[in-house]
Amino acid sequence: SSTLAFIEATRDGKVSIPSMSAIHAAQKLKNPITAIIIGSHAPGIAKQLQSSSTDLGLQEILVAEDATLNTYLPEVVTPLLQNVLGTVDKYTHFVMANSSIGKNIIPRLAAVLNYQAICDVTEILDATTFKRPIYAGNAIATIGSQQKLNMITVRPSSFSITKQVQKNMISPNIPIKQVQTSEVNDDIKWESDALLDNDKRPDLTSAKTVITGGVSLKDKEHFESLLDPLANTLNAAVGATRAAVDGGFCDNSLQIGQTGKIVAPDLYVAIGVSGAIQHLAGMKGSKVVVAINKDADAPIFKVADYGLQGDLFDIVPELTEKLQEMQS
C-alpha cells in the first residue's frame, strides 16, 4: 500500500494551503506517502517540502517541471498522472484537495483508469471507508471502496493541520525523482484568469473565519463598508447569501449555500442573514456560528452558537472597533 498526494502550487511558487490537506489526509491513510508536484515551480516546492520543519511523512517527491502544466489543464495533467498511476502497481490511494483543480482533474483521471472517484471526503475511517456529505451536507454518507486504487479528493477544512510532529533532524533528505511531462493538447487553450482582489484575504473555502452578509445589508455600499473592515480585522474571507448576490451586493463567486460554495470555518459570522435552508446547507459544518440579526425569529438563530439580536448597522461597527482596539 502506498499513497500518492498531489500538491498544488500557488502562482508565486508556494505550496497552496488547501492542497496541504492532501498530505494530511494521506497521513490518516497510514501508508507510505509520495508527493507529486507539477509545473515550473515544482522543483522549488519540492525543496520547500524537503526542508519542512515538521515531519510530513513523505518518502519520495515526484516532480514534473514544465511550464505548460502551470494552468493544471485536465487534458494535459490526466495523461501525465495516468502514466504515473497506471504503469506501476505501487499506489493504492491517490489524494488531491477538493479544490477547483482537484475537482476538475480527479473524475477525468478516474474514468480513464476505470475507477469511481470518491470526492469531497470529510472523514477517513480507514483506508477503504470514507465519509462524505450528500444533499449539500443535509446527510452524511459512509462509503466503502474495494477498488485497487482509491482516488479521493478531500475537503480542505476537514483536513487542516492538527498535530505537528517535529522532524527528526538526522533523517535523510527525501529523494526527488523527475517524471515525464505530457505532450501538448491542441483542443484546449488557457487564455487568462481574473482573481478577486483579495491578496490579503484567505480563500473562502479554506478560510478559518468567514463573515457572511445577507440582504439586510441593503446594498453594495453598505455590504462593503461594513463587512470589509471586520473581515480585515479578523483575517476572514467574505461570503454572501444568494439574495445578497442577486441584489448585486457582491460577486457571484462569494455565494455560500447549496448552489454556491460550501464552507466549514472555525468561526462563521452571519450578518443580516435570515438562514434559508438553501444557505444553511452551505455553512452547517462551521464550528462556531455567530448570528447578528434584527429579527428574533430568523432561522439562523436556530443554528447559531451565539446570537446578537439588534440593528446590524450599530452592532457591526462596534464589534469591528472593539476587535481592532483589542489587537492594537
- Could you write out the DSSP letters of every residue in 305-322? SEEEES-HHHHHHHHHHH
For other proteins, the closer CB: 63 or 304: 304
- Shortest distance, position 294 Cβ to other proteins, whole Å: 13
- Shortest distance, position 295 Cβ to other proteins, whole Å: 13
* DSSP element (H, E) containing 78: helix 74-86
Contact 116, 146 (CB under 8 A): no
Q: How does strand 129-134 pair with strand 123-126?
A: antiparallel
For other proteins, the closer CB: 28 or 132: 132
- Shortest distance, position 227 Cβ to other proteins, whole Å: 16
For other proteins, the closer CB: 53 or 325: 325
For other proteins, the closer CB: 44 or 317: 317
| C-alpha distance from residue 305 to each of 44, 53, 76 (Å) | 43, 36, 46
For other proteins, the closer CB: 178 or 190: 190
For other proteins, the closer CB: 1 or 100: 100
Instruction: Please give the grid coordinates belonging to residue 289.
Output: 456560528
Q: Which residues contact 67 (CB under 8 A, 6 or more apart)?
A: 39, 40
Give the Cα separation of 156 and 152 in Å (integer): 12
- Shortest distance, position 78 Cβ to other proteins, whole Å: 6
- Shortest distance, position 235 Cβ to other proteins, whole Å: 10
Instruction: Please give the grid coordinates belonging to residue 73.
Output: 489543464
Q: How does strand 150-154 pair with strand 209-213?
A: unpaired
- Shortest distance, position 281 Cβ to other proteins, whole Å: 9
- Shortest distance, position 4 Cβ to other proteins, whole Å: 18
Alpha helices in 13-124 (DSSP H): 20-29, 42-50, 74-86, 100-112
Instruction: Find the radius of gyration of the CA atoms of the chain.
Output: 21
Closest to 151 measured CA to CA, from 171, 130, 136: 130
Half-sphere exposure for 148 (CA within 13 Å, toward CB):
8
For other proteins, the closer CB: 64 or 315: 315
